Amino acid sequence: MSIEEDFYASIKLKTGEEIFAKISVSEEPDKTMLLVFNPVIISEIKSRSGEIMYKLESWMKTTTEDLFVINIENVLTLSESYDIEMIYMHQSYVNEVFKKKNYNSNSNSKSKLNRQMGYIANVNDAKQILEKLYKDS
């Protein structure tokens, strides 16, 4: 088995899905597999002013995995990307998702809020207190 150097690419699958990801090609004796890192779906959005922007979403929304294996037989076409802006957007998105995963995994150990942690007020009480503080200052 040999694994080629990583590269960024747009992939069109036979299912019709289009994904953008960092790719490695794994050559095996009987088949070729793509190792797909952090695949995303990119949607083009046009603003009211006519400016075109992009929205990135995870390809697989029900998993926390970041590596997927795709058989090359399921790929309709693959195009290596040299677009620095697209690669930067992908890297930024991956870094943001990584931060959220780490935050969520650390937040599971936090305790729930309770009255012993501090005063919990309703909106009217908090409004009265803040108005009093404002008038007194």
Q: Is residue 125 situated within a structural domain? A: no
- d(C-alpha 130, C-alpha 20), whole Å: 50
**86 CB-near residues (< 8 Å, 6+ apart):** 8, 20, 42, 54
Residue 18: inside a domain, yes or no?
A: yes
pLDDT at 29: 87
Q: In terms of residue numbers, what domain contains 75? A: 1-84
* Domain assignment of residue 135, yes or no: no
pTM: 0.68
Other C-beta atoms lying within 10 Å of the C-beta of residue 97: 16
Tokens 């937040």 locate to: 107
| CATH number of the domain that residue 35 is part of | 2.30.30.100
**Structural domain total, the chain:** 1
CA atoms within 13 A on the CB side of 127: 3
Question: For residue 98, what pLDDT is reported?
Answer: 77
- Residue ranges of the chain with pLDDT lower than 50? none
Per-residue pLDDT of 95-129, as tens digits, reads 988 777 766 555 555 556 565 656 566 777 777 88
Is residue 96 a part of any domain in this protein?
no
DSSP state of 68: E
Name the nearest CA neighbour of 25 among 85, 83, 72.
Answer: 72
Q: Answer yes or no: is 35 within a domain.
A: yes
Per the domain annotation, does 121 fall within a domain? no
The average confidence (pLDDT) of the chain is 84
- At 118, phi and psi to the nearest 5? 155, 175
User: Would you say residue 95 lies in a domain?
Assistant: no
Look at residue 21 in the predicted model and tell me its pLDDT. 96
Task: Look at residue 14 and tell me if it is in a domain.
Answer: yes
